[in-house]
Amino acid sequence: MTTISQIISNKSKAFNYDGIPQQVRERARHLILDAFGIAFASTRFDFSRHTLDGLQMLSEGTTGDVPVVGMDARLPVRDAAVMNGLLIHGLDYDDTHPSGIIHATASVITAVTALGYKQDTSGQDLLTAYVLGIEVATRLGAAAHGEFHQVGFHPTGLIGAFGCTAAAGWLLGLTEAQLTHAQGITLSFAAGSMEFLQDGAWTKRIHPGWAAQCAITAATLAKNGFVGPRETYEGRFGLFASHLGKQFQLDGLQESINTIGTVWELMNVAIKPIPACHFTHASVDAAAVLHKDLALEEIARIVAKVPAGVMKTVCEPVENKKKPANAYEAQFSIPYSVATGLRYGRFGLDALEEAAYTDATTLAIAEKVESQADPDADFPKYYSGEVIVELQDGRRLSHREHINRGADTRPITNEEIVVKFRENAATVLQADAIDQVESLIRNIEKHNAREVMNGMSKGAQK
């Protein structure tokens, strides 16, 4: 019997640059551009420096060649993947595949650039491996129908590792048999717990980079003859049974995998317009619409309706969500997000500052927010949000965003991605350095991995 991992291996082996439509290549370049802009912005925050300090301690006495984005440092291949993945995902501003509920770019691009730097890979091969990794990761994530979050697993770390494995295996030229082994090896490495939601811990930030280093390790072991399980996904203790329980019905995955190379899930990847959990975006936008018609002192009660499948992530525990203790709790809080949208008409990077999420006025509004499951939500296809404001005089104002911005039918354009990239990069780079980085990514096929990553590290800091 042909296993799912073997089908992925067969598809990966046949995957090539010429088979990727021009429209997909162009979108891929812009997704990568978005990712690196966020990485530059993340270098300003404490989590980036503390992570780098720890990784440098681990690698002390060894040679590290791969550049860290925007931080004038170099690390060994796997450590660089961990670090750069953290920078891309650290502000929770990176792209999301809605059906898979996975931040696939953050893991896949760090895997291919770290391994590609080591191998002096061409830019064309970097782009090809990246697209392949996205196509694999998004399909595997979508097969769970949103269930990983419900039982406490973060798909970006868990599933992202398998997309990275396909990409790393392609770059390493693994045979079909070797790539099948590599996926089985990754099954014992991949991880990602949602426990960070309880207290705003930093662990989610490191999941994409961890996925990348798992994949690099697994693919390299497989290339050198290490043997892994064959039934990685459908086996008795495979990915889905071990994480979602034996009652979970794994339907349609094989058919989905068979469409790799003809159906392009990369085109369904959603760019984030707001630096917070994607599950909060529609509610923020709904609140922002109401902002202009409100006098905050007149608010008596606020109801925020969100899909039932996101309640555990952005509405619970209630006390933490209404009074976030740190930026991460703020990013995963419907009450705080709605309060910020109602008060300011937007949610930007400044909402992650301590002065913002501890502000008494904003917290007083958040305290009035009651989160409810929305029976009309079309989740996980869309991450809807509705905000209803009841005023002291009995009036009722409401607005619903059924389809979140960035979704397939409300896409963020390539031109808008460039604007977002430049805004994020401008937090740490001079204008000429921003131009240089943008040119490197938008013309990635004309460069090799070392030129691209060296350009990420040499930007003129403000």
| Res 94: pLDDT | 96
Q: Contact 267/27 with Cβ under 8 angstroms?
A: yes
Q: Is 119 left (phi over 0), alpha (psi -120 to 50) or beta?
A: alpha
- CATH number at 261 reads 1.10.4100.10
The answer as to whether 72 is a domain residue is yes
Residue 199: pLDDT over 90:
no
**99 and 237: one domain?**
yes
Is 145 inside any structural domain? yes
Q: pLDDT above 90 covers what percent of the chain?
A: 93
- CB distance 287 to 387 below 8 Å: yes
- Report d(CA 340, CA 346) in Å as an integer: 7
Pair 50, 181 in one domain? yes
- In total, the chain counts a number of residues equal to 462
CA-based R_g, the chain, Å: 21
Using alpha carbons, select from 327, 96, 105, 310 the residue that is nearest to residue 201. Answer: 327
The answer to whether residue 410 sits within a structural domain is: no
Q: Is the pLDDT of residue 250 over 60?
A: yes
Answer yes or no: do 431 and 372 share one domain.
Answer: no
Q: What is the pLDDT of residue 408?
A: 83
Residue 346 resides in a domain:
yes
Q: Do 264 and 297 lie in a common domain? A: no
| Domain membership flag for residue 413 | no
Residue 170 and residue 219: Cα distance in Å, rounded?
9
Q: Is residue 414 part of a domain?
A: no
Q: Which of 428, 404, 445 shows the shortest CA–CA distance to 36?
A: 428
**pLDDT, average across residues 262-288:** 96
Query: E strands of 249-384, at which residues?
Result: 299-306, 369-373
Per-residue pLDDT reduced to its tens digit, 104-126: 999 999 999 999 999 999 999 99
Q: Are residues 99 and 230 in the same domain?
A: yes
Domain tally for the chain? 2
Q: How confident is the model at residue 461 (pLDDT cuts 50, 70, 90)?
A: low
> Are residues 203 and 87 part of one domain?
yes
Same domain, yes or no: 436 and 346: no
Letter for the amino acid at 44?
Answer: R
Per-residue model confidence as pLDDT tens digits over 37-94: 999 999 999 999 999 999 999 988 887 899 999 999 999 999 999 999 999 999 999 9
* 176 and 294 assigned to the same domain: no
Asked if residue 268 belongs to a domain, the reply is yes
DSSP 125-193: HHHHHHHHHHHHHHHHHHTTTTHHHHTTB-HHHHTHHHHHHHHHHHHHT--HHHHHHHHHHHHTT---B
Nearest to 86, CA basis, from 64, 70, 63: 70
| 3-state DSSP percent of the chain in helix, strand and coil, to 5 | 60, 10, 35
Residues 173 and 149 in one domain: yes
Q: Starting from the edge strand earliest in sequence, which strands make up the sheet with 299-306, in order?
A: 369-373, 299-306, 385-391, 396-401
182 contacts 229 by C-beta, under 8 angstroms: no
Residue 439 lies in a domain: yes
Nearest residue to 110 via CA among 168, 53, 57, 158: 168
Are residue 266 and residue 288 in the same domain, yes or no? no
Tens digits of per-residue pLDDT, 343-387?
Answer: 999 999 999 999 999 999 999 999 999 999 999 999 988 999 999
Domain that holds residue 380: 278-401
Report the b/e string of 114-140 with b at 16+ CB within 10 A.
Answer: bbbbbeebbbbbbbbbbbbbbbbbbbb
Could you read off the pLDDT of 402-430 as tens digits, one per residue?
999 988 889 999 999 999 999 999 999 99
Domain identity same for 268 and 396: no
Strand 385-391 and strand 299-306: pairing?
Answer: antiparallel
pLDDT value at position 61?
82
Whether the predicted pLDDT of 185 surpasses 90: yes
CATH of the domain at 386: 3.30.1330.120
Residue type at 231?
E
pLDDT at 458: 60
Partner residues linked to 461 by β-bridges: 429
Q: Residues 49, 161: one domain?
A: yes
